[in-house]
Structure 1
Amino acid sequence: MKPRPSAAPRRPRRLVLSLLALTALAPTSPAQSAPGEMRVPPDPLVLVGVAPRVLPGPAGTPTSGVAAVRGRYSSHVRLLDPTTGEARREVFLPPEVQLDVPPALSADGRWLAVVLTPDPFTHAGRVGILSTYPTTPPGFQKVLSAGGLNGTLSLVFGPDGTRLAAGNRSGYAQLWEWPTERRVTTINSETGYEPSRLEFSPDGRLFAPIFRGQTRTRIFDAQTGALRTTLSGVGYGTFTPDSQGLLASRGRLISLADGKEAPTPPYLVGTSGVIGFSADGTRVLVRRTGVDVQGREWLELREVASGRTLGALTRVWDGWPEALSPDGTTLIGGDGEGGIRLLPLAPR
């Protein structure tokens, strides 16, 4: 009697392993996949954020950070390993959360900030802070309440987790020290438009609200709210890993010390923008300038010190945010079908 073959291992319900090949630096269409690529089936899913400095796991085991995803208007937030897609934990948002405003994830993966329905008695706007770990008793750790929080459309944590920026559709941004429920400052738009991005420097000392349509960027002290410098001719940008410069449009590097354009570092040559840096600042994911003969945009993973290209692929995008995993090996982005996919670019 022949032995019965063992059953094939069942795949995780939430993840699907792709079978089509992806070779670094080889053309790949957004519909193709890669060996080892993990795909989370559509809800459709949206990337909430990536936390690079997650607390150690059970028994002090190290982690590679977490990526938070949810359905576009879902109350179910899943925290996944950003390189394997393995589930870490999940959070179910309370019913008073306004699901049309994306939550914010803190850099250590410990907190979620969410916009709540207005206070039923005072009608003041509210923002709640939830732990991503089980708590006793469950519920919000803090609730910020103020008239100026009505109309909040975006939230971003500062790197140390104590600062929370709130962008408002009425054309201003507020900076809060949420553990003490203290509003640090309110920054009004010079264009009258709402902020499109809320940027903190990696060291947590600086804050730059990027308002839609602006032609200069104001940099504020994240601790006091005082204006530190104004960069004319810079409509938007991302802080450098050392917090000494701002990466602006057309691959420009602006020095925060004097506001002048600095020599282009090797990793910015031939790029139109930066998607993100690895947690240690040694790798950067950039958008290559222009398109190829087939009209495709390309992303490149580069070494910051030398500008050397470590891997590349055609842009994977369906309208949702893209990010680089904290270890600098994997692109996290939309798959064009309403899902999130994790695409390996270059191993360490």
Structure 2
Amino acid sequence: MKPVPTAPLRRSLRLALSLLSLTVLAPGSPAQAAPGETRVPPDPLVLVGVAPRVLPGPPGTPAASIVAVRGRYSSHVRLLDAVTGEARREVFFPPEVQLDIPPALSADGRWLAVVLTPDPVTRAGRVGIVSTSPATPPVFQKVLSAGGLNGTLSLAFGPDGTMLAAGNRSGYAQLWEWPTGRRVATVTSESGHEPSRLEFSPDGRLFAPIFRGQTRTRVFDARTGELRMTLGGVGYGTFTPDGAGFLASRGRLIALPGGREAPTPPYLVGTSGVIGFSADGTRVLVRRTGVDVQGREWLELREVATGRTLGALTRVWDGWPEALSPDGTTLIGGDGEGGVRLLPLAPR
């Protein structure tokens, strides 16, 4: 795997990339070249996840939020500073990890969840939890084993890192309290399809599996598995930072727990969807509705309280998920060549 660029090389990259035509716009100002763009070399790389909570750095370095990347079928994950792209550490997987299924990163950056080959004796499906600590050898902190884990194709941690959701290709999602090995619930798809997303509320109390083709979203208690509410006409979406609402398609806000559509907040006006919020919930990255005269899609960074646009850029898309850095200043996405790019939007 190619190393992360050294500081001199990174400065040269930034100087060259500042000449690119990609524009960052401040409200009411003319277009200008994107300053300080950083690229992480291709492998090709896949964005594993972003850890919004602070992860301590090596001795003598400041703490940082983390973005995790790996080669598509690589046996190790690189943890990078989510703003600068600097390498923080690497985590190597034991040989029984199924590399074709994406791992999940916990919100505090401490854990990676991976799908393992079936138990050699019982043939039960298995999921392993690996520590990202540099002082910990690449062995599993916990292995969950159950017949219902056969066919696992997606994983997601709850906000506090103790709950783990596993989506299955057979059309269901399981919820586990992984430190104790307790299976909390199994939620079966009403559409017959596999989950496309596994959503937790920011406080970790609610869980909403999003199944492909569904026309309503069921919301469950994440600790007991009890059905709390059903949101009719909501096929997909995500929780608001305060957990009091659910952001559905076409820029709709659904109030919780009542399930009724609420007035559109300013930050959703003229949008087709939300990419993500900053860790403090004050900034949001949205997709602007429609395209411009040149057929380009645009992303806007907006202030949640007022809806004011803080920055905008043409959409970056390389087949991998786009994300907003936890500090709400930088877009993380593909670079069109299999690598990852970090694009400044608006400084604090």
TM range (shorter): over 0.9
1:131 aligns with 2:131: yes
Partner of 1:4: none
What secondary structure sits across from 1:180 in the alignment? Answer: coil
Q: Over residues 273-318 of structure 1, what are the superposed CA-to-partner deviations in whole Å (9 max), with x where a residue is unaligned?
A: 0000000000000000011111111000000000000000000001
d(CA) in 1 for partners of 2:289, 2:301: 14
Partner of 2:281: 281
Partner of 1:150: 150
1:257 aligns with 2:223: no
d(CA) in 2 for partners of 1:338, 1:140: 30
Aligned residue identity for 1:102: P
Partner of 1:327: 327
Partner of 2:79: 79
CA distance 1:175–1:60, change in 2 (3 Å): farther
Aligned residue identity for 1:315: R
CA drift at 1:9: 7.2
Q: Over residues 86-131 of structure 1, what are the superposed CA-to-partner deviations in whole Å (9 max), with x where a residue is unaligned?
A: 1011111111100110000000000000000000000000000000
Which consecutive unaligned segments of at least 5 residues does structure 1 have?
Answer: 1-7, 27-31
Q: Higher mean Cα deviation, 32-41 or 15-24?
A: 15-24
d(CA) in 2 for partners of 1:133, 1:50: 16
CA distance 1:134–1:61, change in 2 (3 Å): closer
CA drift at 1:40: 0.7
CA drift at 1:258: 1.0
d(CA) in 1 for partners of 2:119, 2:243: 38
d(CA) in 2 for partners of 1:33, 1:70: 29
Q: TM-score, normalised by structure 2?
A: 0.92
d(CA) in 2 for partners of 1:40, 1:9: 12
d(CA) in 2 for partners of 1:274, 1:142: 34
Does the CA-based 8 Å contact 1:64-1:327 persist in structure 2?
no
Does the CA-based 8 Å contact 1:64-1:326 persist in structure 2?
no
d(CA) in 2 for partners of 1:176, 1:306: 38
Q: Higher mean Cα deviation, 333-342 or 137-146?
A: 137-146
Aligned residue identity for 2:189: S
Does the CA-based 8 Å contact 2:24-2:34 persist in structure 1?
no
What secondary structure sits across from 1:241 in the alignment? Answer: coil
What secondary structure sits across from 1:191 in the alignment? Answer: coil
Partner of 2:95: 95
1:216-295 matched pairs, under 5 angstroms = 216-295=216-295
CA drift at 1:41: 1.1
Which consecutive unaligned segments of at least 5 residues does structure 2 have?
Answer: 1-5, 27-31
Partner of 1:303: 303
Question: What is the root-mean-square deviation of aligned Cα atoms in Å?
Answer: 2.0
d(CA) in 1 for partners of 2:138, 2:197: 31
Does the CA-based 8 Å contact 2:76-2:91 persist in structure 1?
yes
Aligned residue identity for 1:265: P
Partner of 1:3: none
How many aligned residue pairs are there? 335
Does the CA-based 8 Å contact 1:54-1:110 persist in structure 2?
no
Does the CA-based 8 Å contact 1:16-1:41 persist in structure 2?
no
CA distance 1:345–1:112, change in 2 (3 Å): same
CA distance 1:215–1:57, change in 2 (3 Å): same
Aligned residue identity for 1:218: R
Does the CA-based 8 Å contact 2:219-2:227 persist in structure 1?
yes
What secondary structure sits across from 2:186 in the alignment? Answer: strand
Does the CA-based 8 Å contact 1:70-1:78 persist in structure 2?
yes
CA drift at 1:64: 3.3
What secondary structure sits across from 1:148 in the alignment? Answer: helix
Partner of 2:9: 11
What secondary structure sits across from 2:321 in the alignment? Answer: coil
Partner of 1:213: 213
Q: Over residues 39-73 of structure 1, what are the superposed CA-to-partner deviations in whole Å (9 max), with x where a residue is unaligned?
A: 01110101000001123335696533100000111
d(CA) in 2 for partners of 1:148, 1:310: 46
CA drift at 1:331: 0.1
Partner of 2:29: none
Aligned residue identity for 1:310: L
CA drift at 1:207: 0.4
Does the CA-based 8 Å contact 1:67-1:79 persist in structure 2?
yes
Q: Over residues 211-236 of structure 1, what are the superposed CA-to-partner deviations in whole Å (9 max), with x where a residue is unaligned?
A: 00000000000111100000000000
d(CA) in 2 for partners of 1:137, 1:316: 36
Partner of 2:19: 20
